Amino acid sequence: MFERNLFQEDHEMFRDSVRKFIDKEIAPYHAQWEEDGIVPRELWLKAGAAGLLCCTIPEEYGGLGLDYLFDVVVFEEMARSGFTGPGFLIHCDLVSTYVKSFGTEEQKKHWLPKMVDGTAIGSLGMTEPHAGSDLRNIRTRAVRDGDDYVISGQKVFISNGQLCDVLVLATKTDSVTGGKGITLFLVDTSTPGFKRGKNLAKLGLKAQDTSELFFDNMRVPANCMLGKEGEGFQLMMTKLAQERLAQAIRSATVSEHLVDLTVEYTGNRKAFGRTIGEFQNTQFKLAELATEAVIGRVFTDHCIKKFMEGKLDEVDAAMAKMWLSNLHCKVTDECLQLFGGWGYMWEYPIARAFADARIVKIAGGSIEIMKHIIGRSLFRDVNSRNKTESLVVAKLPEGKLQVNS
């Protein structure tokens, strides 16, 4: 129904290789990984050898130097497969880009080749028990001590937490200046004082390891800092649009796939002497969902183009994340209903998709935060104009206030 024009022939050839990799290296084992609560490190090495990791990293740092669409292909095919265990998106779209964008030459040469080949797995350490979306109020402290910083605190809900070798860690180096007191460090998780907590039991994403992390007087050299002291919040803000776009890409792809899956199921499943797909209710419901999936895809592709041009702002990214997250959850719920009782069985992909979907309204900034960003932007001009008018009135001599009709 909708022909995409983002991708060239080389992207589609790469897509075919990604699908083959998923069929061979992930599909036969993912059910066991859900039982284990984690994927094996060997998968990362295989993904690295197949060129699936950090596609945009320049050749000088061990990468292929490809455009962002190659990463998009990996994100889409992983989402389409329904195999949510491998945390490739966090590793590629966030951690490696933090290192590439803000790292020193020494940091890039040390970590990026390892992230490309899968020998070093990346994770993002920001969320805390008392600071989810409110990153300004993190409590993990980093105190300068000579040429080192001593870090103490904890993180929670950290994807790839059990496996990670390198962590982009958000800390407070100044507890009284809010966001201006946040500093990022690139932490080697073999550093003494770093400790992994338990692998958290979740509603969905059961094969993806998600952890608590603890830092007990962990001493890191000052040259492990990303950017400068106090720049952390500013650096994080520059990557939020990219993170939210990646989540929109995932949700757009899952929504499309589940509609297709449900059409296939209802077109073959019979009730009352005919297929479920022949009932008007089924056709009307899927017609609505298919149309919304196309709308979501068009907007997501528009945002991908804007991102590649360096023009994706926080408002468009928030709109994409909010709308596609809501659609993702709506599609999984209404498609599961059309599967009837079988939709509630874990062996059916729709059941796993339903459990996996709920996090998208929370992760990467909650729906409420997205609404706040969008709503604030709507009134920015009005508030600015009102502020200007108030200043003008305040400067008028007493008794000289005039109202022009």
The structure tokens listed for 174 are: 């100044």
**Burial (Cβ within 10 Å: 0-12, 13-18, ≥19) of residue 181:** buried
Say which DSSP state 58 is in.
-
H-type alpha helices, 82-230: 88-89, 96-102, 105-117
Considering the candidates 34, 77, 243, 314, report the single residue annotated as catalytic.
243
* Pairing assessment for the beta strands 148-159 and 141-145 based on DSSP bridges: antiparallel
| Helices (runs of H) and strands (runs of E) counted in the chain | 13, 10
**Under 8 Å between Cβ of 265 and 338:** yes
The half-sphere exposure of 15 on its side-chain side, counting CA atoms within 13 A, is 15
**Under 8 Å between Cβ of 142 and 185:** yes
In sequence order, the 6+-apart residues with CB closer than 8 A to the CB of 363 are 247
In sequence order, the 6+-apart residues with CB closer than 8 A to the CB of 18 are 52, 73, 74, 77, 78
Exposure string over 81-91, b if 16+ CB within 10 A, otherwise e: bbbbbbbbbbb
Say which DSSP state 90 is in.
I
Q: How far is CA 77 from the centre of its chain?
A: 15
Q: Is 76 a catalytic residue?
A: no
In sequence order, the 6+-apart residues with CB closer than 8 A to the CB of 197 are 154, 156, 161, 211, 212, 213, 214
Strand partners, 182: 172
Q: Left if phi > 0, otherwise alpha if psi is -120 to 50, otherwise beta: which for 195?
A: beta
**Under 8 Å between Cβ of 71 and 93:** yes
**Under 8 Å between Cβ of 111 and 120:** yes
Q: Which of 300, 322, 307 is nearest to 372 (CA)?
A: 322
* Catalytic residue set: 243
